[in-house]
Structure 1
Amino acid sequence: MLASTLMLFALLCAGVFLKVPYSEMSPGPTVNTLGESHGEPVLNISGHKTYPTTGHLNMTTVRVTGADYDMNLLEAVYGWLAGDNIVVPHENLYPDGKTDKQSTQENAEEFSQSQESAKVAALKQLGIEVPVRVVVSTVVKGSPSEGKLHAGDVIKSVDGTPVTEPGDVAKLVTKHKPGEPVEFTIVPAADAAEAEKAGREPSTTAKVTIVAGKAEDDGHAIVGIRAGVDHTFPFPIDIKLADVGGPSAGLMFALGIVDKLTPADLTGGKFIAGTGTIDDAGKVGPIGGIQMKTIGARNAGAQYFLTPAENCASAAAHVPDGLTLVKVSTIGDAEQALEKIGKGDTAGLPSCTTS
């Protein structure tokens, strides 16, 4: 008895102090994009007629242990045995040795971009035009553009040639030799933001001349900026949701916007959850942690789960009882599914299979 007790004690101590290279995933909270979070509407639309909504369009989340968290053997064993949790290699969640700070920053950036794409995809689905403009995305520290161009500046032209795509900027700059002046016509970021808030086109432009620098790799001309795209929304759409990161809520945000701007009640009062990234064109992309999200959705009361087509096989392998998986590839697929679910016409819904 004494020997067995000592052996058990030794094993428990080893389990506590022995660190293993694993992380844990578990179902996170779900939030109704048609409702409120912390007392504020998740979707706040002004300047355009909105319509009453019922039911739920819940985005889903996954809880994960932090990048700097050292899991011990005992926790790993418990996680493997726990029904709703998954233990995975640490590097699967945090590749390239990312720290908590780096991971949080990346998730915040992806979350912000997903909101932007959700708004664009939703308005396009409704046939509402969303003008695109080329902007300064980032300015390289110590580059010729530092202090002259700023993130958010709208690039109208380079050397008098109109710019319509981000790639146009690099093409026009590289026509120069290092040391030559490059003239940018811009709308300063502050003026562009003020005009968008007021719902008008900016009227102020400025000319900025930058002496091109020299690239270290092949010596071509550079000015030290990265161009990107920004959208001019015809009316304000504000998405507020704290303590959430990553791009996987894009689809549900987009559907929430469509529902609020559509006279018909898309959900018909049903409880629908889902996940999926979305791009500006409305294409739905895969996400991680699908099993955790379906469990979280069902625990919250969801009856239907909108599932990215590329996640279907994995989701279908472990479907919680009472939850119907609906396969979607685009926002159009998802809207059609909502209409059928809302009307109770669910016989023809595209389903997920394990193959």
Structure 2
Amino acid sequence: MPSPYVVETPGPTQNVLGKSGSTSVISVSGGKTYKDKGSLLLVTVNAQGIPGYPVTNLQVLASWFSRSADVIPREAVIPQGQTLDEYERQNKSQMSGSQSAAESQALAFLKKQGIDTSGYAIKMHVDNIGGPSAGMMYTLGAIDMLTPQNESGGKTIAGTGTMDSAGKVGAIGGIRLKMLGARRDGATWFLAPASNCDEVVGHIPSGLHVVKVSTIANAYSSLVAIGQGKGDTLPQCAVSQK
């Protein structure tokens, strides 16, 4: 029988400095680009129980006892009566907005560093990924590609967070599962929104180091510090005291 729950599990990751299929995730025209020896991973969550992806009660029951799954009431994830077409349009709209914010904030950041970005155009492409949570990693990827420094220092660094028009990194959903996906795919460092810290503490996979960030400038300086082997000096998540 169909279930009134949504089951979320760690989804695939994508190196924003690489390719999605045969297409570069981030393409730049009008400016010189540089290669980074490491990887910057955006992270995702797979969901069953959303429109077009049904989940059974038996699958939900099994997921209750899995450490790599979250079971959430459907109405907390999907508005009642939302169709598959409406769900997909919403996700595409959020992803498009995320990419636009990433482009503008990457260029704004570079201008503040004294880089002439006139004539630059940045385009982003990933198949089958929706929502706004990749905004920060898109922005970092674009900045990385347009600066000669090898920011990652050859490391695999993952992260998540929305990006707004003021350059602030916002909270996202499913961060526990996204950290699991990041570690599964080789990440040793993870950039997390400061506003998600309460959900991070106590759920960090073994071998993953999590750094909290709140702005794109903060995220970039953290990326550089990690690449230089100074990641242990960066602020980590702690549970807020209320």
User: Could you tell me the TM-score, scaled by structure 1's length?
Assistant: 0.64
| 2:6 aligned partner | 23
* CA distance in 1: counterparts of 2:79 and 2:162, whole angstroms: 20
- Structure 1 outlier segments of 4+, above 4 Å: none
CA contact (8 A) 2:103 2:123 kept: no
* Other structure's SS at 2:91 match: helix
* Other structure's SS at 2:43 match: strand
Count how many residue pairs are aligned between Structure 1 and Structure 2. Answer: 236
* AA in 1 matched with 2:4: P
Q: Structure 2, unaligned stretches of length 5 or more?
A: none
Q: Structure 1, unaligned stretches of length 5 or more?
A: 1-16, 130-232
Deviation of the 1:234 alpha carbon? 3.1
Deviation of the 1:236 alpha carbon? 1.9
Query: 2:78 matched to 1:94?
Result: yes
* AA in 1 matched with 2:131: G
CA contact (8 A) 2:4 2:73 kept: yes
* AA in 1 matched with 2:103: K
2:62 paired residue among 55, 70, 78 = 78
Deviation of the 1:47 alpha carbon? 1.1
Counting strand residues as a fraction of each chain, which structure ranks higher? 1
Deviation of the 1:39 alpha carbon? 2.1
| 1:50 aligned partner | 33
* Identity across the alignment (%): 43
Greater shift in the superposed pair: 339-348 or 247-256: 339-348
| 2:185 aligned partner | 300
2:166 paired residue among 281, 284, 293 = 281
Root mean square deviation, CA, Å: 1.7
* CA distance in 1: counterparts of 2:197 and 2:119, whole angstroms: 35
* AA in 1 matched with 2:179: T
2:121 paired residue among 236, 240, 246 = 236
CA contact (8 A) 1:122 1:257 kept: yes
Deviation of the 1:72 alpha carbon? 3.1
CA contact (8 A) 1:91 1:97 kept: no
Deviation of the 1:93 alpha carbon? 1.1
| 1:41 aligned partner | 24
The higher radius of gyration belongs to 1
